[in-house]
Amino acid sequence: MNNFYALIMAGGGGTRLWPLSRKTRPKQMLSLVEEQRTMFQVSVERLSPLMEPDYIFVVTGREHVERLSQSVPQVPVENFIVEPFGQDSGPAAALGTLHIQHRDPDAVIAVLTADHHIADQPKFRRVLSAAGELASREYIVTLGISPSFPSTGFGYIKRGEELAQIDGFQTYHSAGFTEKPDPDTAVQFLTTGLYSWNSGMFIWKAYQVLSEFARQQPTMYALLEEIKRAIGSDSYRETLDRLWPSMKKLSIDYAVMEGAKDVAVIPVDIGWSDVGSWATLFEVLAGDLNGNVSRGRGQEHIKIDTRETLVVSNRMVVTIGIEDIVIVDTDDVLLVCHRDRSQDVRQVVGKLKESGDEIHL
Amino acid sequence: MNNFYALIMAGGGGTRLWPLSRKTRPKQMLSLVEEQRTMFQVSVERLSPLMEPDYIFVVTGREHVERLSQSVPQVPVENFIVEPFGQDSGPAAALGTLHIQHRDPDAVIAVLTADHHIADQPKFRRVLSAAGELASREYIVTLGISPSFPSTGFGYIKRGEELAQIDGFQTYHSAGFTEKPDPDTAVQFLTTGLYSWNSGMFIWKAYQVLSEFARQQPTMYALLEEIKRAIGSDSYRETLDRLWPSMKKLSIDYAVMEGAKDVAVIPVDIGWSDVGSWATLFEVLAGDLNGNVSRGRGQEHIKIDTRETLVVSNRMVVTIGIEDIVIVDTDDVLLVCHRDRSQDVRQVVGKLKESGDEIHL
């Protein structure tokens, strides 16, 4: 399949792994799961047996593009598509799709994330391949993650009637997307066995998703059309900068997926994690005999009676008599947090935003 | 009493408050109990209503003398007596005593520590005064701290027959010093009501304690005599450096106190603490409503569900969902320790010594 492209969405500036992730150093730039490679590098490299680097496109912010492109020299710099500023995933995915379509009007595109962990990479590539095949048959495909617990932190996709089986993967019509559920609903979802987590990974034909934009988001589509005409011309940058502020800030789910026709889902278990909190990162990493994990350059962790403790630091850390603690030690902020409370890092980030503390954000 | 002098023993390089206290920055140089003044400055200044700064002498190591003397400009620089290197408290106290005796053959000297906390300073000065009076009557006086719990970390002094009551303080003959007891013995000591902690504070007439050296430590005394003759001469430094290595490394307790005649004890409760561990420091400091204490320059401690936690840091520290934790954040080492385990810091220091890690000691 030589019309199969990847579009890696690397614009995010999430702060859920604060204080390590910052506005200027988002999660995809961190080397956490692997010590030598950033999550973005891993996201690019795990595609390599599936497609040539030349087929990998990246959407990101102007402030990140240089660092990201230098970190994956195998990907041509012209494959980096710049958003003038973040407008959520809808406009970003559409912009990337336009560029790939400009190169290949027949393109099938896998829209992927830059900061998620996938343990089973061979299976991930196989299911992507199957999804590409299904997308060629004019389905907008979503990868549905088999839920391992009744999470209230993800949206869900319900499977409908069976579609083809491709390369061992059973595919389904989508019976609809749902928002993040309350705890009871999440338990029901798991019980039925019909729901998957919405991973944010979609596989579509360029023209098909753009016609969904035309149908569901006509105002946005008009702007996209104007941008599309400017691609490759001298006026591209000026056109983009002028029109971008008028884009509606919408997630791709809201913008088109929830209302799209011919949506399919492939439920799959690929050891996926969004690494959405320190506790989630902790689960992904292999600990020592006492469940301790240490990360960092030149890090020395001296442990006395220490269990289930995550240390992220670039210097000597001594822990004595502690358990279930996350320690994140950055240049200007130190976080010491109970493992079960790592979601509350958001509260702190919220307070810093309120108080206008840009230095620590 | 215009022959009453203080001799502050400021040579120690203890690492019990590691990683904040280091070889090059011993405990007496830290500002922990008070945020603006070091423990050494406090030790000097709490004497001021009792004696002129000119009557305060300090024994310390060559590497510390400049910094210490600059921190208490009111004390004449010539009152700083340098040990070439540490030989424990016996030789240091004897050397200081020689110098004070050189200035005032009739001197009564209060030998004091530089890194202990005393909550009730007026009472401390009153008991020192009383002890000076008793020392004038030819007793070698020890201040005995009324024990608040059966500590196994201190030596004890047993009181014997009653001596005079001076200024409201009942004084006693000493019935002997004991080493650090085992837990059962410590409980027995408390039950009898006859034992006090050995605070390391002694009050003596110069000539009287020097005759104890002459009687109990004749070899050391011969060296002391030779050093004494050189005081004030050009050959002093050379003489001291030459003889000092031959001094026996002995605590003052071993050297003379345990075998001395006419030892008296004044049991007293002055809110004394040796600040011998992070937990002990914690007890001395006043916490917020949740028992949290923060220390450090420009420190900002953001607390979510945090209780009984001590933070020593010069930057932003965020704690979430933790209790009874000590966090000590220095330039090159971070310590996170359960409050009840702060004694185990010694283990770490021991390991660093074994591995020859001078950088972190």
Q: Are both A251 and A125 inside the same structural domain?
A: yes
Q: Are both B227 and B248 inside the same structural domain?
A: yes
Start-to-end CA distance of chain B, whole Å, equals 43
The pTM of the full predicted model, rounded to 2 decimals, is 0.88
**Look-up of token digits 């016609």:** A211
Burial class of residue B71 (count of CB atoms within 10 Å of its CB; 0-12, 13-18, 19+): middle
Given a contact cutoff of 8 angstroms between Cβ atoms, the answer to whether B185 and B179 are in contact is: no
Q: Are both A217 and A354 inside the same structural domain?
A: no
Q: Are both A128 and A142 inside the same structural domain?
A: yes
pLDDT at A345: 93
Lowest mean pLDDT across A302-306, B9-13, B218-222: B9-13
Tell me the shortest Cα–Cα distance from A285 to chain B, in angstroms: 21
Residue of A305, A336, A357 to mutate, interface with B, max B Cβ within 10 Å: A336
Residue B103 has pLDDT above 80, yes or no: yes
> CA-CA distance, A141 to A349, in Å (whole number)?
35
Estimate to the nearest angstrom the gap between the alpha carbon of A278 and the chain centroid. 16
In degrees, to the nearest 5, what angle opens at C-alpha B204 toward C-alphas B199 and B205?
A: 170
CATH label of the domain that carries residue A34: 3.90.550.10
A305 — contact with chain B (CB < 8 Å)? yes
Report yes or no for ipTM above 0.95: no
Residue B210 has pLDDT above 80, yes or no: yes
Q: Are both A240 and A296 inside the same structural domain?
A: no
Given a contact cutoff of 8 angstroms between Cβ atoms, the answer to whether A176 and A303 are in contact is: no
Contacting B residues, span 15-74, partner chain A, CB-CB under 8 Å: 19
The pLDDT-based confidence of B15 (bands split at 50, 70, 90) is confident
Q: Are both B168 and B233 inside the same structural domain?
A: yes
Q: Are both A136 and A285 inside the same structural domain?
A: no
Question: Which of A313, A334, A360 shows the shortest C-beta gap to B313?
Answer: A334
Q: Are both A164 and A227 inside the same structural domain?
A: yes
Count of all residues that appear for chain B in the document: 361
Given a contact cutoff of 8 angstroms between Cβ atoms, the answer to whether A133 and A1 are in contact is: yes
- The range of the structural domain enclosing residue B301 comes to 278-360
**B276-313 pLDDT tens trace:** 899 999 989 989 999 999 998 877 999 999 999 999 99
Total domain count, chain A: 2
| Half-sphere exposure for B141 (CA within 13 Å, toward CB) | 33
**B330-342 pLDDT tens trace:** 999 999 999 999 9
Q: B323 pairs with which residues across the strands? A: B307
**A225-266 pLDDT tens trace:** 999 999 999 999 999 999 999 999 999 999 999 999 999 999
Question: Helices A206-216 and A89-103, interaxial angle, to 10°?
Answer: 140
User: Which DSSP category does A22 fall into?
Assistant: B
Q: Are both A207 and A64 inside the same structural domain?
A: yes
Tell me the shortest Cα–Cα distance from A341 to chain B, in angstroms: 6
CA dihedral B106, B111, B117, B122 (to 10 degrees): -20
Q: Are both A153 and A260 inside the same structural domain?
A: yes
Tell me the shortest Cα–Cα distance from A284 to chain B, in angstroms: 22
Residues A309-313: contacts with CB within 8 Å, 24+ apart? A310/A278, A310/A281, A310/A282, A310/A285, A310/A339, A312/A20, A312/A32, A313/B334
Q: Are both B175 and B92 inside the same structural domain?
A: yes
CA proximity to B208, closest of B260, B131, B251: B260
